[in-house]
Amino acid sequence: MLKMPVFAAVPDAVWEGFCKKRITNDYRKGNIIFYEGNRPFGVYFLCTGRVKIIRTDTGLHSSIPRVIEAPALLGDRSFLAGEAYLGTGEALEDCRICFLDGAYFEKNFLEIPQVCRALLTRFAAELGRSEEQLLDFGFKTVRGRLAKYIVERAVAKGSASVQFPETRGDLAKMLGTSPEVLCRLLAEFRKKGWISVAGRNVAVKDKARLEQVSRR
């Protein structure tokens, strides 16, 4: 198993020990990795696939604040904070995930200054993304959030053609809207010639216009 960037400073001997201690499981799409409200007993390493974090309010309305792509850590913030999971982790697609006991993680990883620094950098970046998301939900329209999502996916893939890995329902929850509104906006974008849509495949036709809309 290759080291994640955050663990680049971990000595090879420690990493080999981790590879022996880890518990590896394959999760099918829709399988639950951990539940909101449960307390963590260790840290998950997402080796392949994508996991969505689902949060549910008292009225049983759910939202998807983020989707985590491999390679990445899962549940580390809750574990290090000594808190219960703030959301449920569900496999968005088939995943391979390793679990490492918390005591072993603390003893062998957190005593390495470079690892602690890398984790702090990662948490700071996540905090920045969370703040940006809050601003988007507070000041952008759903139209702007959808345009931004399409542009960012295209930039991340380095292609004008992107595929929505999420269902329309999941994507609507990520954008803070309903599937009906999402479908209506996609139809509007297509009609105006900004995109073309074929199933989950979206081709960007007018990136400049989408970027302009994404700022609103």
Q: In total, how many domains does the chain have?
A: 2
Q: Are residues 103 and 147 in the same domain?
A: no
Q: Is 30 left (phi over 0), alpha (psi -120 to 50) or beta?
A: left
Q: Give the model confidence (pLDDT) of 10-43 as tens digits.
A: 778 878 888 888 899 999 999 999 999 999 999 9
CATH code, domain carrying 45: 2.60.120.10
Taking the model in full, what pTM does it have?
A: 0.75
Is residue 160 located within the same domain as residue 115? no
Q: For residue 158, is pLDDT > 80?
A: no
Across the chain, mean pLDDT equals 86
> How much helix, strand and coil, in percent to the nearest 5, is found in the chain?
45, 25, 30
**Ranges 13-17, 83-87, 133-137, 178-182, most confident:** 83-87
Are residues 83 and 152 located together in one domain of the fold? no
Which structural domain, as residue segments, surrounds residue 161? Answer: 142-214
